Amino acid sequence: MYDPALVQPFRDELTQLGVTELMTPEAVDTALREPGTTLVFVNSVCGCAAGSARPGLRLSLDGDKKPDHVVTVFAGMEKEATERAREYFKPYRPSSPQIALMKDGQLMKMLQRQDIEGHDAISVGETLTAAYQEHC
């Protein structure tokens, strides 16, 4: 587990966008059972989360089409909540960061670390925006 003071700015970057933090497995289950589209952002302290994933998410939420719900779990902090979220992502392996677009509880689009690392925020944002256009 990381120092909570260290990760607070990374949390704030998402909650200031209106993203809801899920702190327990039960909260994950409740959120992912909501009808409609839900984006699940697995937050992380790594450089690609800071440089591409979080800014890419911000850019994607500027568009007209977006998920009905946007939620986050923090890898390395809320271990049980993160593990529960990843159960919904099967057959994908755990990755940090990781971004899943769910629709009525079914996985529609997945971005793994290898889809984020080495890509800039604009390309991550465009990938998410395209997924919103298709599924939201």
> Per-residue confidence at 32, pLDDT binned at 50, 70, 90?
very high
**Geometric angle at alpha carbon 136, from 79 and 40, rounded to 5°:** 5
- Give how far Cα 124 sits from Cα of 2, 60, 64, 87, 107, Å: 26, 8, 17, 23, 18
- What pLDDT is recorded for position 56? 97
Q: What fold does the segment set 17-130 form as a domain?
A: Glutaredoxin (3.40.30)
Give the tens place of pLDDT for each residue, 73-105.
999 999 999 999 999 999 999 999 999 999 999
SS3 for 111? strand
pTM summary value: 0.95
Would the pLDDT of 108 be above 90?
yes
Residue in this structure with the two tokens 């509880």, named with its chain if needed: 105
The set of catalytic residues is 46, 48
Q: Inform me whether the pLDDT recorded for 47 exceeds 90.
A: no
Q: Give dist(CA 1, CA 87) in Å, integer.
A: 20
User: What separation in angstroms does the CA of 116 have from each of 47, 48, 80, 127?
Assistant: 10, 7, 24, 10
Domain boundaries, the chain: 17-130
Q: State the average pLDDT over residues 121-136.
A: 97
